[in-house]
């Protein structure tokens, strides 16, 4: 089990990576994801725990700044050295526990067909679009 960064950060048990997806969940390819990140004014799609999210609303409100947000999909930014491995609850960029809990609850609601918007007041919301096709 990967180490927790510090006691005030989320732990791997909050990860949404292992949640089973019904066949009705849209599958989004890395190529399609990259198309939505190809222009400065294009929507920004990111991968969090294997789920593709529209993070466009965070462009101006991300607490870590735009540069940090735009690195989310990069190799080395997530829980592993691989591309698209970002997690709120695993790895060097783990967030506070409430963030991990909020995202996991949002994914669970999305998988039940109850919408895909996850609010992170006062910074905005993420919209879950589907699962990254590997």
Parse the chain into domains and list their residue ranges.
25-132
- Of 41, 30, 23, nearest to 132 by C-alpha is 30
pLDDT > 70? residue 39:
yes
Q: Environment class of residue 128 by beta-carbon count within 10 Å: exposed (0-12), middle (13-18) or buried (19+)?
A: buried
**Could you tell me if 16 and 107 are in contact, meaning their C-beta atoms sit under 8 angstroms apart?**
yes
Write out pLDDT tens, residues 100-122. Answer: 888 999 999 999 999 899 998 88
Query: Would you state the pLDDT for residue 5?
Result: 45
E strands in the chain:
27-28, 45-48, 51-54, 117-120, 124-132
Write out pLDDT tens, residues 53-69. Answer: 998 887 777 766 667 77
Higher pLDDT, 43 or 15: 43
Residue range 25-132 forms a domain whose CATH class is alpha beta
> Pseudo-torsion of CA 51, 115, 24, 59, nearest 10°?
-30
Q: In whole numbers, what is the pLDDT of the chain averaged over residues?
A: 81
Which helix (H) or strand (E) element contains residue 31?
helix 30-35
Write out pLDDT tens, residues 75-99. Answer: 877 777 789 888 877 766 656 668 8
């Amino acid at each position: 089990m990967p180490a927790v960064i510090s006691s005030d950060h989320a732990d791997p048990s909050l990860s949404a990576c292992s949640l089973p997806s019904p066949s009705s969940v849209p599958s989004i390819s890395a190529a399609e994801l990259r198309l939505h990140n190809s222009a400065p004014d294009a929507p920004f799609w990111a991968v969090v725990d294997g789920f593709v999210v529209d993070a466009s609303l965070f462009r101006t409100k991300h607490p870590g700044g735009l540069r940090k947000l735009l690195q989310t999909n990069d190799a080395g930014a997530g829980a592993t050295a691989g591309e698209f491995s970002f997690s709120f609850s695993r790895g060097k960029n783990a967030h506070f526990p409430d963030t991990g809990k909020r995202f996991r609850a949002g994914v669970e609601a999305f998988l039940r067909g109850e919408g895909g918007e996850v609010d992170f007041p006062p910074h905005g919301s993420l919209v879950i679009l589907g699962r990254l096709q590997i």
